[in-house]
Chains A and B, each alone.
Chain A
């Protein structure tokens, strides 16, 4: 049943950018200087925009499924009830009514903002992955996914530039910034391995031609990260153990809080237009 695979794959892509965008959005008004506050918000807006395109596509897929096919798609009762009542669902239903075990974003994006170095490190690791992912996704046999990838790539190119320059700037700035940047890279590195470990869904998506074999991206990723880290005069981070789980719905504790905050209005006042 390939439409279920496309749906779940699209949701995984959407969850990543939504949670990342949500994290960065929380920094609006709190940046180290006005110009960078605005820069960070632009990145967040791009990501929320990407998430919307993906959720909209996912909602279309659900709405076009046969009643039998969509009878048991989600754990979330509010969402599944709506589907079973033959109502069409929207981008917002998918973003606001699924619980943490339905969310398939990688662990990296849900990590806390921390200080500027931690924020930069998380974006640096994530944006670089997104760039490689979207580039490979241009060849997806699913034309909508390929089109979203193409549009998003332009945005991500700028995100990469922003994050890489900050890694270099902090690495080659003052002693304090160097230490903080090194620490942040080290702390976030253990969440990068998961992005390249194919889960069942990704394997299936790859087999039917819509998805990307992320395991093939890892070597290029490592090289590109290393180039920037070296230019920054920093040590390549190491991890004895890579954390995994997010892509299979097993998250860190942070996600529950992110969702509680993000979804509260839709849950406190269900089925209303805003």
Chain B
């Protein structure tokens, strides 16, 4: 086959919803887009462990402690599945981590915001995981097989994450006045960053069109964001909390809630590294990796020695 026919048959497969597998032909740009997106997704999972891990030792009950620990551990597992999916595209996990540690690769900006009170564990589980799930469910049908399969596993495990977050919010909202205040404060702080998780407006999103054509993405940023707002407003009411944005209003004509314009200036600044916790999060990851270097080397050396012993 010629290059042109390769590309035609690739696009035909995509159009017929046939999954692309690691050994199949794929255009370079498709491969690059996937590596960027999957590794970014994996980095988000492992950096995303930090703001919550922060509270494991301070969880207010043993049940909450166990649940949070299991949840944060799951995020690590999700990072692992995603790194594995990306590795089928010809990049190693070490290379991806190097990109993260040197600031070349990005991760979701939401994790650059601080977790200040216990209610933040509720808000993160409910809003951040909720937004993530909305982003991720369509990815279970993304065109690249290993990515889709990783996402199926991730989505299956995520289902308890949002519930545990909502349960925390529910307990706080039904609790004492100070607990309710804690919940409201967390909702107010996490609302806008959660909405930004869906990425920039479609009008300025550089990658959306091509990703849609290749069925890596299946809905646009704005579509998903709107869906999230519509679902979440009702949940806020259920909690008995005040809406975090005074411009949230039902628009009969659109059949959706209207809401305030987001502060995209802040968004781009956090992406660029100027968020309240960017430096700290990255430093923590780098330190864990560097502190672990001698451990990884020791295990390699030991495995090598045993191999030679067996061979002898």
Contact = CB atoms under 8 A, between A and B. Distances in A.
A and B touch in the complex (CB under 8 A): yes
Interface of A: 18, 22, 25-26, 28-38, 41-42, 44-45, 48-49, 51-52, 55, 91-92, 95-96, 115-116, 168-170, 172-174, 176-177, 180, 261-262, 264-266, 269, 272-274
A88 to B, nearest CB: 16
A191 B289 CA distance: 30
Q: Is the interface of A mostly helix, strand, loop or mixed?
A: helix
Contact of A29 (B64, B66, B76): B76
Given A35-B80, A176-B298, 15 more contacts: A29-B284, A32-B289, A32-B292, A34-B76, A34-B79, A92-B60, A95-B62, A115-B291, A116-B291, A116-B294, A168-B302, A177-B294, A177-B295, A272-B179, A274-B175
A174 B295 CA distance: 9
Interface in B254-312: 284, 287-289, 291-299, 301-302, 305
A95 B301 CA distance: 42
A31 B288 CA distance: 6
Interface of B: 46, 49-50, 53, 56-66, 69-70, 72-73, 76-77, 79-80, 83, 118, 168, 171-172, 175-176, 178-179, 284, 287-289, 291-299, 301-302, 305
B209 to A, nearest CB: 34
Residue of A45, A96, A173, A177 most packed against chain B (CB within 10 A) = A173
A48 B65 contact: yes
A174 B171 contact: no
B299 A29 contact: no
B301 to A, nearest CB: 5
Contact of A262 (B58, B77, B171): B58
A264 B56 contact: no
Q: Which 3 pairs show the lowest CB-CB distances between chains A and B?
A: A32-B292, A173-B298, A177-B298
B6 to A, nearest CB: 35
A55 B62 CA distance: 10
A164 to B, nearest CB: 13
B119 to A, nearest CB: 10
21 contacts: A25-B56, A28-B72, A28-B73, A29-B76, A33-B295, A34-B79, A34-B83, A37-B76, A41-B73, A45-B69, A116-B291, A116-B292, A168-B302, A170-B302, A174-B301, A177-B295, A177-B297, A177-B301, A180-B294, A262-B57, A265-B59
Contact of B66 (A32, A45, A116, A173): A45
A274 B60 contact: yes
B56 A31 contact: no
Contacts of A266: 60
Given A32-B291, A32-B292, A34-B83, A169 B49 contact: no
A117 to B, nearest CB: 8
Contacts, number: 139
B56 A26 contact: yes
Contacts of A36: 295
Nearest to B55: A265
Residue of B287, B292, B302 most packed against chain A (CB within 10 A) = B302
Contacts of A273: 171, 175
Contact of B302 (A35, A41, A116, A169): A169
A174 B288 contact: no
A45 B70 CA distance: 7
A272 B171 CA distance: 10
Contact of A48 (B69, B118, B293): B69
Contact of A174 (B49, B60, B289, B298): B298
A51 B69 contact: no
A38 B57 contact: no
Given A26-B56, A177-B295, A272-B175, A92 B66 contact: no
Given A28-B72, A265-B118, A169 B46 contact: no
Contacts of A34: 46, 76, 79-80, 83
Contacts of B295: 32-33, 36, 116, 170, 177
Contacts of A37: 73, 76
Nearest to B122: A274
A18 B57 CA distance: 11
Contact of A274 (B61, B287, B296): B61
A55 B298 CA distance: 39
A42 B77 CA distance: 12
A26 B302 contact: no
A17 to B, nearest CB: 11
